[in-house]
């Protein structure tokens, strides 16, 4: 692979076309989804080798570790020191995803169980991101937590909400960073959900899909109780109960 320029892109998400185009010297839009998927592991290895700063390079990624139909993991051990895996109860994910995608709750319930589910997967138009295989909620969690290649630190959204400072402190320690507790407390304070909502109202949020009123909607734990029917909640538990139990989520709707 031949980079197009010495300067790395500023995008910090593994989904970004900029990294792919920079590392390969190709245009992702000229390739098929399968061709891009086959090259992505090598792209992130190249990005890791090209990073000369002592500070870790963080990337946000949505993909499952190994997606259905792919022969290799999207990230290899050569490209990553470790993974901080952020997970949330599928009951709340279902509601959040329905609002985010402007779907019905039933569609969202079915999508969470779809092993082939992907973002930016269309062939009739060029998306602003690379295709990202998500798999089902359980499949996604299983693929990362039990990947057996890269160390993983699991962070539950619920623990972030209830014990933010301690939860963030543990994640920072896993990442090999040293931060004083007062620094973490300040970071937590400035990233409170109500502050993010206020910032979005004032200046917008660039990742908000077109047509969506607010990206930061509620952010509460167990908000699904107000929006899912008993049958919808039970189907989610039937679909994902095994992984929910592994992650410490109750499998009996209260």
Q: Quick: pLDDT tens for 102-118.
A: 899 999 999 999 999 99
**Cβ distance 10 to 22 under 8 Å?**
no
Segment among 47-56, 119-128, 227-236 with least mean pLDDT: 119-128
Tell me the C-alpha distance between 22 and 8, whole Å.
7
Q: What angle do CA 164, 181, 216 make, to 5 degrees?
A: 30
Angle CA 39–128–130, to nearest 5: 20
Cα angle value 61/67/70 (rounded, 5°): 115
Q: Cα(196)–Cα(214) distance, rounded to whole angstroms?
A: 11
- Cα separation, 216 vs 219, whole angstroms: 7
Give the number of other Cβ atoms within 10 Å of residue 26's Cβ: 18
Does the pLDDT at position 144 exceed 60? yes
Q: Are strands 152-156 and 83-87 parallel, antiparallel or unpaired?
A: parallel
Stated length of the chain:
254
| Residues 6 or more apart whose Cβ sits within 8 Å of residue 154 | 85, 87, 145, 247
Whether the pLDDT of residue 217 is over 50: the answer is yes
Integer distance in angstroms from the first to the last C-alpha of the chain? 54
Residue 24: is its pLDDT beyond 60? yes
Per-residue pLDDT tens over the stretch 39-93: 989 988 988 888 877 778 888 899 999 865 666 789 999 999 999 999 999 999 9
The full DSSP string for 122-148 is -SSS--SB--EE---HHHHHHHHHT-S
Residue 36 main-chain phi, psi, to 5 deg:
-65, -45
Which pair of tokens denotes residue 151?
Answer: 């160390």
Q: Which residues contact 137 (CB under 8 A, 6 or more apart)?
A: 90, 93, 112, 113, 239, 240, 243
- CA-nearest of 209, 171, 215, 213 to 193 is 215
The residue ranges of every structural domain in the chain are 59-246
Q: What is the pLDDT of residue 14?
A: 73
Q: What is d(CA 28, CA 25) in angstroms, rounded to the nearest whole number?
A: 9
d(CA 138, CA 56): 29
Locus of tokens 């031949």? 2
CATH number of 59-246: 3.40.50.300
Amino acid 5: pLDDT: 47
Distance CA 108, CA 227 (A): 12
109 close to 236: Cβ distance less than 8 angstroms: yes
């Amino acid at each position: 692979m031949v980079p197009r320029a010495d300067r790395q892109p500023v995008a910090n998400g593994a989904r970004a076309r900029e990294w792919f185009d920079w590392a390969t010297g190709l245009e992702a839009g000229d390739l098929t989804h399968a061709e891009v998927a086959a090259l992505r592991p090598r792209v992130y290895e190249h990005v890791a080798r090209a990073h000369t700063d002592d500070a870790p390079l963080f990337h946000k990624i949505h993909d499952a570790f190994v997606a259905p139909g792919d022969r290799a993991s999207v990230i290899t051990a050569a490209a990553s020191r470790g993974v901080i895996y952020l997970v949330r109860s599928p009951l709340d994910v279902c509601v959040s995803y329905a609002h985010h995608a402007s779907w019905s709750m039933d569609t969202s319930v079915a999508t969470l169980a779809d092993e082939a589910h992907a973002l930016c997967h269309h062939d009739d138009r060029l998306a602003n991101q690379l295709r990202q295989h998500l798999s089902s909620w359980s499949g996604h969690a299983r693929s990362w937590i039990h990947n057996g290649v890269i160390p993983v630190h699991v962070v539950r959204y619920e623990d972030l909400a209830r014990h933010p400072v301690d939860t963030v402190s543990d994640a920072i320690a896993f990442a090999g960073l040293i931060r004083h507790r007062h620094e973490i407390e300040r970071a937590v304070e400035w990233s409170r959900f109500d502050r993010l909502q206020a910032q979005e109202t004032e200046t917008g949020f660039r990742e908000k899909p077109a047509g969506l009123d607010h990206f930061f909607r509620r952010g509460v734990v167990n908000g699904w109780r107000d929006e899912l029917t008993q049958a919808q909640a039970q189907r989610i538990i039937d679909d994902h109960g095994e992984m929910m139990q592994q992650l410490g989520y109750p499998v009996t709707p209260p």
